[in-house]
Amino acid sequence: KQEVTQIPAALSVPEGENLVLNCSFTDSAIYNLQWFRQDPGKGLTSLLLIQSSQREQTSGRLNASLDKSSGRSTLYIAASQPGDSATYLCAVFGGGTYKYIFGTGTRLKVLA
Amino acid sequence: SQTIHQWPATLVQPVGSPLSLECTVEGTSNPNLYWYRQAAGRGLQLLFYSVGIGQISSEVPQNLSASRPQDRQFILSSKKLLLSDSGFYLCAWGPGQATGYTFGSGTRLTVV
């Protein structure tokens, strides 16, 4: 059974710091991995989608990497801003199931 | 471009009352559609998914049901709500099963 874990559960950093959010999954036979952002009381916004054949994807200040063999992905946020404050969720597709399995998220707070 | 609409945004319903949440997608045809629930402090749980009109797969046995009367319309229903049905309900769509999801803005349901 695929399980997705995100560490840390919460993170508070000063503005301008570079930071890394971690996502690990137990079954490495995945098709892809997706990172989302969720603002309080809102839906999920897709940030990056990494296919299993890819090592990383970049969008602006965000860079997501995927190491399928070790069951890990990281989301790197450069020069963090208060507007980056949100919960970040990763989801994996595959690993014995034809649906996305979500982690419980990392709640990020960037202090001005 | 494709858009997903979900309504209502918030709903307060008494225990034992019926429920109907609607989700529609525009700008695409034959999307895969999904209903997720996010309970307070917990991860996203897949409730139902549909790969075509009238085709519904249930992930979690409970007093909820789903229907897809039209290609781009997905409805979540209940005949009698329970307190445990409270949560944040999210609809999502994807062009295929492993192609990434786009989420709606969600419905906050409180059963009192």
A1: pLDDT confidence band, cut at 50, 70 and 90?
confident
Q: Quick one: tokens of B31?
A: 């999307």
> Is B106 within 8 Å of A49 when comparing Cβ atoms?
no
**Over the stretch B33-90, which tens digit does the pLDDT of each residue have?**
999 999 877 789 999 999 899 999 988 868 899 999 999 999 999 999 999 999 999 9
Q: Is the dihedral of CA A55, B28, A94, A5 positive or negative?
A: positive
- How far is B88 from B98, CA to CA, in rounded Å? 24
Tokens in use for B99? 């192609």
Q: How many CA atoms lie within 13 A of A20 on its CB side?
A: 6
Selected residue of B103, B107, B109, B110 to mutate for chain A interface (largest A Cβ count, 10 A): B103
CA B95, B101, B102, B103 torsion: positive or negative? positive
Chain Cα centroid distance, residue A55? 14
Are B103 and A45 inside 8 Å of each other by CB? yes
Q: How confident is the model at residue B99 (pLDDT cuts 50, 70, 90)?
A: confident
Q: Between A and B, how many CB-CB pairs are < 8 A?
A: 49
Tens digits of residue pLDDT in B39-52: 877 789 999 999 89
Q: Does an H or E element contain B18, and which?
A: none
Largest pairwise CA distance in chain B? 39
Q: Binning pLDDT at 50, 70 and 90, where does residue B15 land?
A: very high
Tokens standing for residue B21: 């949440």
Query: Please, is A28 exposed, middle or buried when counting C-beta atoms within 10 Å of its C-beta (0-12, 13-18, 19+)?
Result: middle
CB contact (8 A) between residue B100 and residue A104: no
Average pLDDT on A11-18 reads 97
Cα distance between residue A93 and residue A19, in whole Å? 25
